Amino acid sequence: MAVRFGVFVPQGWRMDLVETEDPVEQYEAMTRVAKVAEESGGFDSIWVYDHFHTVPRPEHETTFECWTTSAGLARDTERIKIGQMVTCNGYRNPALLAKIASTVDVMSNGRLLFGLGAGWYEHEWRAYGYGFPEVPVRMRMFREACEIVHRMWTEDEPVFEGEFYTIDRPINEPKGVQKPHPSFWIGGGGEKVTLRLVARWADACNIIGDVDKLRHKFDVLRGHCDDLGRDYEEITRSNSVNVYLLEEGEDPESATALARGGMSYDEYSRRFMVGTAEEISERLQPLVETGVTYFQVYLPRVAYEPHMVERFAREVIPNFS
């Protein structure tokens, strides 16, 4: 089976637009990278994060909102798919979110990859007035939200009364372009709740981790699929990776200096795969062997060096076709 790839556009959340002051130009830099990814012919999708404040610390810097960005990119591009890694359930009512997603699926002519997760960034939760429920509460909210979103996409007048959310015959028209519904991606590796929700509702999952962790999580997911009578192989299994793509013969420490900021190379190389196209391919292959069928790739400084997107599409992706 061929492995597919998506790439994150520079949205600001990871401080990747700070060298540009004009917010209009910041947005256009994001759009340019999306178009480069589309025109490369190698990437299946572009991705954005759902966050309001930057990391690793909240700074007074640009972070473009996820769903207005998704809608804009739906009209700025023509063929490439558009995903969120992942929408925070706590930031929007799930019935409204299903309606928003349906609209973006139509705007993109059926190119939406709808990502949803329980959320984790406490600072922005509290700053925006959402509180910050304990993990068990967030997971119960998430469970209800997954069902509501799915039913909003597949039923004409769904009724649901839960602990946190209630819907009473909402009309969601149009439901989207994709059939039977927009592609539903669930992020997270929780074994008791999240992976069971994947088996029940999702078209795809996103799990972060090394080879051993991924192998274990996929085994758990397979077990949930068996319990629910779901075909495990129907589910796209994705993994998000940070990559710094070197030119042949380039010195890793010198090449990454701008991207690292003040971070040591040792620390940076623990967070990013740093290497040539051949070396990156060799490091991705063991993840594929565990069962990964899709990668979302974050490439640093592409707002200023979009050629790295082209190089990845040309030099790495063909090794997995």
Please tell me the predicted confidence (pLDDT) of residue 262: 87
Q: Domain containing 160: what range? A: 4-320
d(CA 246, CA 255) in angstroms, rounded, equals: 7
pTM over 0.85: yes
Take residue 30 and report the two structure tokens written for it: 């994001």
* Contact of 256 with 247, CB cutoff 8 Å: no
Round to the nearest angstrom and report the end-to-end CA distance of the chain.
8
User: Nearest to residue 83, comparing CAs of 64, 108, 58?
Assistant: 108
Axis crossing angle, helix 66-76 with helix 23-40, rounded to the nearest 10: 50
Alpha helices (H) along the chain: 23-40, 66-76, 94-107, 122-127, 135-154, 194-201, 211-228, 252-255, 257-260, 265-271, 277-290, 307-315
Take residue 228 and report the two structure tokens written for it: 């629910």
d(CA 12, CA 26) in angstroms, rounded, equals: 8
Please tell me the predicted confidence (pLDDT) of residue 1: 63
d(CA 131, CA 122) in angstroms, rounded, equals: 8
Take residue 307 and report the two structure tokens written for it: 């050629």
Q: In CATH, what number is assigned to the domain containing residue 32?
A: 3.20.20.30
Q: Residue-wise pLDDT tens for the chain (321 aa)?
A: 689 999 999 999 999 999 999 999 999 999 999 999 999 999 999 999 999 999 999 999 999 999 999 999 999 999 999 999 999 999 999 999 999 999 999 999 999 999 999 999 999 999 999 999 999 999 999 999 999 999 999 999 999 999 999 999 999 999 999 999 999 999 999 999 999 999 999 999 999 999 999 999 999 999 999 999 999 999 999 999 999 999 999 999 999 999 998 899 999 999 999 999 999 999 999 999 999 999 999 999 999 999 999 999 999 999 998
* Contact of 35 with 7, CB cutoff 8 Å: no
| Peptide bond preceding 292 in cis form (omega within 30 of 0) | no
Cα dihedral sign, 36-38-40-45: positive
Angle at 196 between CA 87 and CA 207, to 5 degrees: 50
Please tell me the predicted confidence (pLDDT) of residue 112: 98
Query: In this structure, what is the dihedral angle of CA atoms 118, 119, 120, 126, given to the nearest 10 degrees?
Result: -120
d(CA 74, CA 38) in angstroms, rounded, equals: 12
Number of domains observed in the structure of the chain = 1
d(CA 104, CA 288) in angstroms, rounded, equals: 31
Residues 6+ apart with CB under 8 A from 38: 46, 77, 78, 79, 80
Please tell me the predicted confidence (pLDDT) of residue 261: 86
Which three-class secondary structure state does DSSP give residue 239? strand
Q: Residues 64-70: contacts with CB within 8 Å, 24+ apart?
A: 64/11, 64/12, 64/26, 64/27, 64/30, 67/92, 67/100, 67/104, 69/11, 69/30, 70/104, 70/112
